[in-house]
Chain A
Amino acid sequence: MQNEWLYIGIFLVIGIIVPIVPLVFSQLVAPRKPNPIKQSTYECGIETVGDSWVQFKAQYYIFALVFLVFDVETVFLFPWALSLKQLPLFVVMEGVLFIAILVSGLVYTWRKGMLEWA
């Protein structure tokens, strides 16, 4: 295994342990006096009305979908970007074609009104 990814792996492990240290320390040191008023859900200082489920707007899902398509597109563009210096101009045109096809998708989404936060 490459040593770089071993380094990143150990970094991730220590990066998760380091914030846990002050949390554990806080558990040891801080007072602990739970009572129902302190533990009730916060709603601007008044009693909670209704249960804790909020109707999720469908618009969030559509934005996440458009984001997904464009995320995959930009990931495809990274290897293309690395090959530009060595290969001739038509390589750039291939990438431009790729981007143009997906921009037409964005225009379609826009015209259909899916990008409005209604």
Chain B
Amino acid sequence: MTILNDPINFIAGWMRSLLTGWGLPNGLTTVIIYFIGITVLIVFAMVLDILLVWVERKVVARFQDRLGPNRIGPFGLIQPFADIIKLIIKEDITPAGADKLLYNLGPVLAIASVIILWAILPLSAKIFGVDLNVAVLYLVAAGALGTLSIIVGGWASNNKYALLGAFRMVANMISYEIPMVVVLLIPTILADTMSVQGITQAQSGMWFAILSPLALIIFIISAIAELGRSPFDLNEAESEIVAGFHIEYTGMKFGLFYAGELLHAFTFGGFLAVLFFGGYGGFFGLENTGFFSWLNNPFVQVVVFLTKAMFGYWVIMWIKYSMPRIRIDHMLAFNWKFLTPLALVVLVNTAVLSKVLLGLPNWGYVLGMFFSNIVIGYIAVEILRAYGRNQRKAEATLSSQRSQSQEQAL
């Protein structure tokens, strides 16, 4: 156990020997070591958050065929710091009649619900917060706290537009939580464990994105709805209700909401990488050969993980800046009438095939899973097209009837 092979345990062991050498009891030593480790992790997450502001603005600018911030610092890299300074020195206007405690609690809860996800994010096989055996459900629980923060923020502003935005946003988020939780069951079945370390290690042979591409697609759609980003961004429908539930928030509180949303998107990109693309590993068995054994180095794994997470974040941004907003009734109908039944069908399919295909060799298993997903996806798209065709036919007959009756009336 050296500093290169196992950095966290090495440093923790050194600090523990140092502190018990000073005479502190064992429990207190544990708490102090945890405290220091957690602070380092959270500071890393917040610095990453600041970098993400820059990434977001540059990427949206390129999607919109312009340059983005390039004045402050090289390539505009100092821009987020300038933004933070501006937000901190802005006046903090609390609307009259707002509920003081809840008004201040909203942004704090929004960021807290994202930061606690970093406790289980596996940055590497040896660098992570804690290896919970219920990590997949923990992800859903953190989402539940985020939903609560939106209600608190919307209610405390004493503004009916904020409240309206908050209601619609919460109805949206809780509806899309169902396909997301159902799809989270699929890596659980394939890896036979709920812990993210176990899921990552089970993908060292084959990514789950290839075993179950439909689950990947459903997860991306529900994750974007959970994050509240376009095309599901009802809370920030600029043309409709100005800024949704955070209309009345100024200065750093708005900054916290905004930064929280970006960090949430990146964290979900990270979970996309962990659950479907192999996380810090997933090298198809290459790392066991002698030449590629440096792939087992914790720092290399961290870089691999962050790259995959950034790719997931880029996919989420790509969808955001390419698609128009969807109306609330279309969103909810899409969820309850299409996505939830589809997710349940994929789940049943995965569960049945994971038992039926047990005897086959590895390539048979992979191909069987992959093609069953393709078949289900094809059938789903055909159902949608038939539905669309019926709708158009009904519209056509209706409009022709109307024009006929108009001719007769004339």
Contacts and interface: CB of A to CB of B under 8 A. Distances in A.
Whether A and B touch directly in their complex, counting CB atoms under 8 A apart, is answered as: yes
Q: Is the interface of B mostly helix, strand, loop or mixed?
A: helix
A53 B158 CA distance: 9
Interface residues of A, number: 65
A116 B204 CA distance: 44
B111 interface: yes
Given A63-B332, A74-B182, A30 B175 contact: no
Interface residues of B, number: 81
Contact of B96 (A30, A40, A84, A95): A40
A85 interface: yes
A75 B137 CA distance: 8
Contact of B119 (A8, A84, A92): A8
A11 B38 contact: yes
B256 A71 contact: no
Contact of A95 (B39, B88, B95, B351): B351
Given A10-B35, A15-B42, A64-B174, A41 B192 contact: no
Interface string A70-90: 110011011001101100110
A6 B159 CA distance: 39
Interface string B181-204: 110010011001110000000000
Given A10-B31, A30-B92, A34-B93, 6 more contacts: A15-B112, A30-B89, A39-B94, A60-B171, A82-B188, A89-B355
23 contacts: A4-B131, A7-B130, A12-B112, A15-B111, A20-B108, A29-B89, A30-B91, A33-B91, A41-B97, A41-B157, A42-B161, A42-B247, A42-B248, A43-B159, A52-B97, A52-B158, A56-B167, A67-B178, A71-B177, A71-B178, A92-B355, A110-B337, A115-B336
Interface of A: 3-4, 6-8, 10-12, 14-16, 18-20, 22-23, 25-27, 29-34, 36, 38-44, 50, 52-54, 56, 60, 63-64, 66-67, 70-71, 74-75, 77-78, 81-82, 84-85, 88-89, 92, 95-96, 99, 103, 106, 110, 115-117
